[in-house]
A and B are shown apart, each in its own frame.
Chain A
Amino acid sequence: MVNIMKYMNQLGIVLTVCVVAEVLYMILGLPIPASVYGLVIMLLLLMLKIVKLEQVEGIGGFLLGIMPILFIAPTVGIMETVGGIGNQLVFLIIIAFVSTLVTITVTGAVAQLFIRTRERRTGGKDE
């Protein structure tokens, strides 16, 4: 029973952050999803030690663990759309595939160049 109450408390903290995030989203009217406000708020709360890691770690581990399940319904929703786009589907898949490969290469190359340049400047030592 103690364990269940602990989880309820943790869920309470997370849901409170969600509500604040949604209110912020409505007030500010910026094209940023409420979930991103929530993420930043939670990070700030942790960094400022207003919320301790132990106070959200349990529910966080649970939610992040079941994360793939949350994407099932939206993925099944593909069946509603795929029929409507017809021959554009092939191009869409090619674009998604190629752009992913380009992103991997560019991000990796820039990061590696940066890390190696810094290492050379500091004589191989970090910091």
Chain B
Amino acid sequence: MNELLQESVFFGFGLSIVMYLLATKVRKKFDHPFVNPLLIASAGIIVILLVCNISYDTYNLGAQYITFFLTPTTVCLAIPLYKQLTLLRKHLVAVILSIFCGCMAHLCTVVGLAILFQLEETLMISILSKSVTTPIAIGIAEEVGGLSPITILGVVIAGMTGAVLGPSILQVFRIKEPIAQGLAVGTSSHAIGTARMIEVGEVQGAMSSLSIVVAGILTVIIIPIIVPYL
């Protein structure tokens, strides 16, 4: 199979789109946070590649053209941020302070647990940026010498955890302010968590998308400064 497809740039591209469309159909039938189209599509493609004995490189030959759009898409995150500028200005201190505390708490927990479990340093560095949105997380990981596939694994786990358990955790710790709820899930679980918060409420959704950007920028500044000291 590898030899046949090695020259086809459309195979990986087409497979990704078709699998995503199928996954969104599954989502429509079973509407549950666990039923995440990205997760289903990716898992499906991995199974297809393994069963047909096709290498990741052959797949990525075409799929890389989709990944090309990550930078323009990240640039466009400025648009929702611009729309929510008044909300941001009004709660500026609460936003910056809580997201900063969240980022630092994340950093300390990852480093602390990594030392406890004697995790390899490269692996730990790879997941330091995992609570921010994928293009930023990968960018940071590559800058500080992490492995981007591990980062993505971390990003997906962070997103799914926040989307599925976020609302329950907020309830347990009596975090009832809608602004605080949005900031919490956006800071920890980026776009996947934000998709869930949009369902919870308008303010939660707005603050969560705001956190994607603010947490992303803060993490970009914090991680490269801290990594040399680890």
Q: Does A23 contact B (CB under 8 A)?
A: no
Whether A59 lies near B119 (C-beta < 8 A) is no
B53 at the binding interface (Cβ < 8 Å) = no
Q: How far is the CA of A63 from the CA of B63 in the complex (A)?
A: 16
Q: What residues of chain B lie closer than 8 Å to A15, measured between beta carbons?
A: 72
Complex interface: chain B residues within 8 A of A101 (CB):
161, 165, 169, 188
Q: Is B38 touching A35 in the complex (CB atoms < 8 A)?
A: no
Judge whether B69 and A108 touch: CB under 8 Å: no
Query: Which residues does A use to contact B, with CB under 8 Å?
Result: 11, 14-15, 17-18, 21-22, 31-36, 38-43, 46-47, 53, 56-57, 59-61, 63-64, 66-82, 85, 88, 91-112, 114-116, 118, 126-127
Q: Which residues of the other chain, A, contact B130 by a CB distance below 8 angstroms?
A: 96, 99
Whether B117 pairs with A74 at a CB distance below 8 angstroms is: no
- Whether A74 pairs with B139 at a CB distance below 8 angstroms is no
Q: Which of B41-95 contact A (CB under 8 A)?
A: 41-42, 45-46, 49-50, 56, 59-60, 63-64, 66-67, 69-83, 85, 90-91, 93-95
Question: Is B183 at the interface (CB under 8 A from chain A)?
Answer: yes
Residues of A within 8 A of B63 (CB): 72-73, 76
Q: Which residues of B contact A110 (CB under 8 A)?
A: 97-98, 101-102
* Complex CA–CA separation, A34 to B91 (angstroms): 28
The answer to whether A88 and B105 have CB atoms under 8 Å apart is no
Cβ-based interface call for B205 (8 A): no
| Contact assessment for B134 and A71 in the assembled complex, using a CB-CB cutoff below 8 Å | yes
Interface of B toward A, CB cutoff 8 Å: 12, 16-17, 19-20, 37-39, 41-42, 45-46, 49-50, 56, 59-60, 63-64, 66-67, 69-83, 85, 90-91, 93-95, 97-99, 101-103, 105-106, 109-110, 113-114, 117, 119-120, 123-124, 127, 130-131, 134-136, 138-140, 142-144, 147-150, 152-154, 156-158, 161-162, 165-166, 169-170, 173, 175-177, 179-181, 183-185, 187-189, 191, 211, 213, 216-217, 220-221, 224
> Which residue of chain A lies nearest to B113 when distances are taken between CB atoms in the complex?
A95
Q: Describe A's contact surface by its main secondary structure.
A: helix
With A32-B139, A74-B134, A94-B117 given, name 10 new contacts (CB 8 A).
A22-B71, A39-B77, A63-B73, A72-B38, A76-B45, A88-B120, A92-B153, A101-B188, A106-B105, A107-B183
CB of B110 within 8 A of CB of A77, answer no
B113–A99 contact, CB under 8 A? yes
Question: Which listed residue (B80, B98, B135) contacts A107, Cβ 8 A?
Answer: B98
Cβ contacts under 8 Å, B73 to chain A: 63-64, 66-67, 70
The answer to whether A98 and B184 have CB atoms under 8 Å apart is: no
Is A79 a contact partner of B49 (Cβ separation < 8 A)? yes
- In the bound complex, what is the Cα–Cα distance between A97 and B188 (angstroms)? 10
- Please determine whether B148 and A108 come into contact, CB atoms closer than 8 angstroms: no
The 10 closest A-B pairs by CB, nearest first: A33-B139, A107-B102, A108-B184, A111-B98, A73-B63, A42-B78, A103-B188, A35-B74, A111-B180, A31-B224
B contact residues around A100 at 8 Å (CB): 106, 131, 157-158, 161-162, 188-189
From residue A75, how far is it (CB to closest CB) to chain B in Å? 4
Residues of A within 8 A of B127 (CB): 92, 95-96
Contact across chains for B75 and A99 when beta carbons are under 8 A apart: no
Contact between A115 and B76 (Cβ–Cβ < 8 Å)? no
In the complex, are the beta carbons of A18 and B66 less than 8 A apart? no
